[in-house]
Chains A and B, each alone.
Chain A
Amino acid sequence: MANDWLHLFPEKVRMLLKSLPLQLLSAVEEIRVREGRPLEINYSGKYHFLSADGRLTQKPEEAYRPDREDSHRLLDLISNHSLYTMEEELRKGFITIPGGHRIGLAGRTVLSGGGVEHLRDITGFNVRIAREVPGVADSVLPYLLDKGRLRVLHTLILSPPQHGKTTLLRDLARQISGGSQNRQGGSRQGLKVGIVDERSEIAGSRRGIPAFDVGPRTDILDGCPKAEGMMMMIRSLSPDVIIADEIGRPEDADAVTEALHAGITVVASAHGKEVAELARRPGLGSLLEHRMFERYVILHRSEAGLSFRVLDSQKRALLPGAPGERTGGERHA
């Protein structure tokens, strides 16, 4: 499982990446390939270029520049030599490969009827490496539980991109679904969890089987649009908790409302820095206005590690996590 994403890259780039120290390799978060421009890798919130002899450098002029051949090869490999199976993905601008790694694409769009129909001349790739960090949700989970009624509270997780929303959701799914034993003397029963995994990132499913540990009582609707998926879950899979990533469109908000009224807990994530900011967004504003969510978790990642702030439905702080107070940043490859 470790570094299973290396085989994605064309020979030359793969060799360069392999020459990096293993420790560094297992901390890499993003690899950005742009045709004719410096090869960039990002980890722990910093960026570096990779030179042709395998060194990390800050100077773009020393960096290795992937050529046309490299980008063609990369596209060929990530699409499993079959770009025609990826039409929908190309329209959305990203491909999720087995293992849950997401590859964002940049190229020239082909329009049809005013909408993006296709992406061609793809020359920019952002390979985001998905990692399991078991235990990252340890310090947050107690705040999301209604101990008396043995249920999970409606939660919205907020952070800018790349701060670990999906990683946190994945661990929450695992822990909520698995329950826990002998922690502070009590045991918590596992709940039925349904993941609507529109981008196949949370569970990283391959042919319907999750690549990550998302808990024993978890069902996954892989590749399903969130709004529709939540409704399907409610109707057919009777989950106690629905988990969805990156909600934001008005129809998502409707589906969340529906789920909440059906007595199902929703744990979702959204892009954003502050709750107040979110309230101004058209889709999510109404959810916030009606205080649908009982908990807000705001993630912040700095060099010191991952920190959390937990707010209740009135936006009062419950857990003022100073940076570094609780680091979920220990990474396991």
Chain B
Amino acid sequence: MLKLFGAVLVVLAGTLAGFQRARQYADRPRNIRSLIAALQRLETEIMYGFTPLPEALRRIGQQCKEPLRALFVQAAEEMSPPHDRSAEEAFGRAMEAHWKAAALKGAEKEVIRQLSCTLGTSDRSNQSNHIALALQQLKQEETAAREDQGKYETMSKSLGLLLGALIVILIF
């Protein structure tokens, strides 16, 4: 009886792990999409609103959903007094704190990090170029992430269940 209960537990754990994994594949393109939308809004704020960076980031953060919301709002906080950190530093700290919560990977992190080095340090046309470049890179990542989703999402789900079953068979 106890054995059976244990076996069910193992299969359940395997299935949940598989679903978790699958959710990450599904979330990543969605998160990249919101990141793209956020950067597009940032471009508008810079090009047409002349909004200072901390305020622009705060506004964008408030329009985003979690986990990007926390990311942008913290970056804005870090850039405002009394911290007054540079954009690069502020994003570095915000990403440190909130990146894990998002289903994003190193490639997107690098894009944002590179963008943060130039944010606010040049004139508008230059800012626009940098944001456009970041957007392009993110779009590529999004395509790749969608392909991954198609390939691996359902597979992860069944793999989790099967892995659980395999363990159970091996142990018995």
Contacts and interface: CB of A to CB of B under 8 A. Distances in A.
A pairs with B: yes
B158 to A, nearest CB: 49
Interface string A145-168: 000000000000000000000000
Contact of B87 (A81, A85, A90): A81
Contacts of A90: 123
21 contacts: A7-B81, A7-B84, A76-B86, A76-B120, A81-B53, A81-B54, A81-B86, A81-B87, A82-B52, A82-B120, A83-B120, A83-B122, A83-B123, A84-B46, A84-B124, A84-B126, A84-B127, A85-B51, A85-B52, A87-B123, A87-B124
A327 interface: no
Interface of B: 46, 50-54, 56, 79, 81-82, 84, 86-87, 119-124, 126-127
Interface in A46-82: 72-73, 76-77, 79-82
Nearest to B119: A81
Interface residues of A, number: 15
B81 A81 contact: no
A267 B152 CA distance: 76
Given A7-B84, A73-B86, A80 B54 contact: yes
Nearest to A110: B123
A76 B121 CA distance: 7
A83 B79 CA distance: 14
A72 B46 CA distance: 20
Contacts of B123: 83-84, 87, 90, 118
The 3 closest A-B pairs by CB, nearest first: A82-B52, A81-B120, A82-B53
Interface of A: 7, 72-73, 76-77, 79-85, 87, 90, 118
B92 to A, nearest CB: 14
Residues of A contacting B: mostly: helix
B152 to A, nearest CB: 40
A186 B56 CA distance: 53
Contacts of A76: 86-87, 120-121
Contacts of A82: 46, 51-54, 56, 120
Given A84-B50, A87-B123, A87-B124, 14 more contacts: A7-B81, A73-B86, A77-B84, A79-B120, A80-B54, A81-B79, A81-B86, A81-B87, A82-B51, A82-B53, A82-B56, A83-B120, A84-B126, A84-B127
Contacts of A83: 120-123
B60 to A, nearest CB: 14
A85 B87 CA distance: 15
A18 to B, nearest CB: 15
A77 to B, nearest CB: 6
Nearest to A88: B50
